[in-house]
Amino acid sequence: MAIQDEVLAKKILEKGLLDAKTFEKFQTASKKQGLPLETLLFDREVLPEDILGAIVAEAYEVPFVILKDKSVSDELTQVVPYSVASHQFVLPFEQTAEGLHTAFNNPHNYELINFIENKTGLKVIPYYATRKDLQASLKVYNRNVNEKLDTLLEGALTDTKKLESLKDASKIVDTIILLAYQSEASDIHLEPHKDLFIVRYRIDGILHTIAELPIAIAELILTRIKVLAKLRIDEHRASQDGRFKIVLEGNDITLRISVLPTYDGEKAVLRLLTSARQELDLGTFGYTPESLEKIRNNISKTNGIVLMTGPTGSGKTTTLYAILKILNTPEVNISTIEDPIEYRLDRVNQTQVNPKTNLTFGSGLRSLLRQDPDIVMVGEIRDEETAGVAINAALTGHLVLATLHTNDAASTLPRLLEMKVEGFLVAATAKMVIAQRLVRKICEKCKAPYEVNAQKFVELQKKYNLKLDLFEVFGKLSGGKKDSFTLYKGKGCDTCNGTGFKGRTSICEVMEISDEIRKKILDNESPKEIETVAVTEGMVTLFMDGMIKVFQGVTTIEEVLRVMRS
């Protein structure tokens, strides 16, 4: 447990470092902001860091250590996985006959102490270190992986003869994958060009160039990947797909591989799939309480179809997995037909589409309906056959969850009509449509306010070709007219690699199918007409949900407009 504010307050006042009146102001600010007193005092730089650190350590009843004065060996930095060390702020710095001397920002985290003792078989001797000191040391810790990659690449750049074996290439591949995992990348792109073999990571939806290698080593690296994924290493003219599993920092990682021949050679994309990062908790996806209530009400029904829509990479499948997690109880039989299976779900019967054996979405769905399912998930409705079977399943006592590619919720039902599904069947079975996009979140470490006036909004409207009056939109959100509005952006720091963004959240619209919307479907009305009714009935559009998150300081207006434009 963290140190009690009262204990820390007593220590500081006893030493006479602050007078009671001044200290009371900090205590009041701490309670008002909901921050621990320790955090507020460090953030405000009330006392020199080493002096305040020594007092906090005394309150914890452990020694105080300044890590920047220590030389930590590479071996010790490997004791605790980086993902744990960076999240929990912990770093072993010395091993003696007494045990493992370890710096903690919270030395009373006994669960973490037990974890380290069980992992190492050594007695942990806890010390207190300030968060700032730990962060600086952990950057060096993480830099070890970057330096390892740089060293390998330097050898490749200066002497490609050093990479004449798969053993050498495997070191580069292993390091590229590890660094991608630690960078929280979703995909690794390995791209051949005329003279270069480029490595890029997709982080928070955006591609970043990580390294440029000599084209001479491309074949060795691709061969290593093919060996791992059990693909044909002598095939260079056809596309190949595969996957393999590895363990990184104690977590099981599945890498899905796609190899495609291009003009300059074979290109590979590796998607990192790890259930450890996918909490699959719908409450953490950025949905409002009102939207969550609508979703829970509609997925509790025993029949009908719930549709999820959005472009590729908008998190549709992940959201459906989170819904399945809610529905996954011992009393129900859940079956899915997917392409590909992104994550394994316990107690869910997941089937992979396989065109080579004629197992398509349509044929697979027909087959699994003979498996007595209560709930069915269709990875994607791509054609008339799948649409027809899914709607009929929803009509005959099954709850069907499916994805579809449309721009918004209102366009989804007319899209089913275009797939030759009868209007009365769509009206009878559709319960809800969810449209979703993913936007990058402002980095909390470098988040800063700035003022936006009417002129700036006009410039944005011109840049993104908007017909809406953004100044008016934010006026409504703030409850009245103002000369300017306070919004937020990230200035760029080490935590976010200078981007100003860290992590992603969703913007969404949840459209419940009311009687009025059913009438619009039966009358074959346009998506615009359907959206008008839905908004009148209380639906918050994708755009407005995005603007609300901008107003709340979650993301930036440019980020919302970027994903809406796409």
Alpha helices for 159-260 (secondary structure H): 166-182, 218-228
What whole-number distance in Å separates Cα of residue 142 and Cα of residue 93?
A: 15
Least confident of 48-57, 78-87, 272-281, 376-385: 78-87
What whole-number distance in Å separates Cα of residue 524 and Cα of residue 522?
A: 5
Residue 340: DSSP 8-state:
S
Q: Mean of the per-residue pLDDT values for the chain?
A: 87
Average pLDDT estimate for 168-176:
82
Q: Is the dihedral of CA 222, 227, 231, 235 positive or negative?
A: positive
pLDDT band with cut points at 50, 70 and 90 for residue 434? very high
* Burial (0-12, 13-18, 19+ Cβ within 10 Å), 77: buried
pLDDT at 148 over 70: no
pLDDT at 278 over 90: no
The pLDDT, as a whole number, for residue 454 is 86
- pTM for the full model? 0.68
Residue 499: DSSP 8-state:
S
* Burial (0-12, 13-18, 19+ Cβ within 10 Å), 104: buried
What whole-number distance in Å separates Cα of residue 87 and Cα of residue 42?
A: 19
pLDDT band with cut points at 50, 70 and 90 for residue 13? confident
Average pLDDT estimate for 18-43:
78
Q: What are the tokens at 4? A: 């009690």
Q: Quickly count: other Cβ atoms within 10 Å of residue 48's Cβ.
A: 10
What whole-number distance in Å separates Cα of residue 555 and Cα of residue 440?
A: 6
What whole-number distance in Å separates Cα of residue 439 and Cα of residue 10?
A: 45
pLDDT at 67 over 90: no
pLDDT at 410 over 90: yes
pLDDT band with cut points at 50, 70 and 90 for residue 426? very high
Query: What amino acid occupies position 456?
Result: K
Query: What amino acid occupies position 502?
Result: K
pLDDT at 146 over 80: no
**Contact call for residues 544 and 328 (beta carbons, < 8 A):** no
pLDDT at 332 over 80: yes
Alpha helices for 198-280 (secondary structure H): 218-228
| E strand spans, 369-429 | 375-378, 399-404
Strand partners, 254: 245, 273
Q: What are the tokens at 257? A: 């591989």
Q: Is the dihedral of CA 51, 54, 59, 65 positive or negative?
A: positive
The pLDDT, as a whole number, for residue 147 is 60
Three-state DSSP class for 417? helix
The pLDDT, as a whole number, for residue 310 is 93
pLDDT band with cut points at 50, 70 and 90 for residue 1? very low
What whole-number distance in Å separates Cα of residue 512 and Cα of residue 482?
A: 34
Contacts of 480 (CB under 8 A, 6+ apart): none
Share of the chain above pLDDT 90, in %: 54
> For 479-495, what is each residue's pLDDT tens digit?
777 788 899 999 888 78
pLDDT at 376 over 90: yes
